[in-house]
Amino acid sequence: MAKESLEEVPMLFSHCIVSCRWILLATSIFLFGSLGASAQNSGLDFSIHANDHADAKSIGLPAYPGATLYKAPDNDAALDIGYSSGDSQFRLSVANYSSSDPEDKILAFYRKPLSRYGEVLECRDGKPVGSLTVTRSGLTCSDEHSGHVEVNAHSDQKGHDLRAGTPRQFRVVGIDKAEPKSTHFALVYVQLPKDDSASGKSR
């Protein structure tokens, strides 16, 4: 994992926010605060990475049959960014795909693979679909997780997705844009840093 100076972190995340629709903006803001606070301790050594090597396999989900990586004019087809410092780790992996199948068929395909990571929650426009509103692990359709981090798979806060995992480590299959002859969707993996609410510090 490449070593970068702390000063380069904001530039790295700013580039990612501009180039990838599925970046979790508030998560990166949360990380800036965490990194800034941790910078007071000069003994910490930050390791960060950013590349475009993400795909279905690296995210932990199967590739959808016949789907191809999709790169829009203002988005990268795939992105993998993260940092680690001691026992604190953050990772965001995103892979955008395009398929000729309708969104319902795509979401149905991913229900079983997602269930490996826990109960599968279905969300539309930020609200749960069906009787399951919160998983046993505490994962919800809300944009807020643990009172600190906002997570939204769609830049306009509208969309249809499936998600499974825990509030701090989860996967999302989200429909980006559905058209008569094509559906754009994204596979997302998120790992958030540990948080010590009592002390007000992330670790």
The tokens describing 66, both together, are 């016949």
Can you give the length of the chain in residues? 203
Residue 201 has pLDDT above 50, yes or no: no
Model confidence pLDDT, tens digit, residues 69-89: 988 776 778 888 888 877 788
The rounded distance, in Å, linking the Cα atoms of 48 and 81 is: 8
Local confidence band at 48 (pLDDT 50, 70, 90 cut-offs):
confident
- Give the range among 5-19, 50-64, 100-114, 153-167 with minimum mean pLDDT: 5-19
Query: SS3 of 170, please?
Result: strand
Model confidence pLDDT, tens digit, residues 22-33: 444 434 434 444
Q: Is 192 exposed, middle or buried (0-12, 13-18, 19+ CB in 10 A)?
A: buried
| Residues 58, 80 contacting (CB under 8 angstroms) | yes
Domain ranges for the chain: 6-194
- Give residues with Cβ within 8 angstroms of 88, minimum separation 6: 34, 38, 193, 194, 202, 203
What's the mean pLDDT when you consider all of the chain? Answer: 74
The rounded distance, in Å, linking the Cα atoms of 111 and 163 is: 9
The tokens describing 61, both together, are 């989900």
How many Cβ atoms are within 10 Å of 160's Cβ, its own excluded? 21
What is the rounded average pLDDT of the residues 90-119?
95
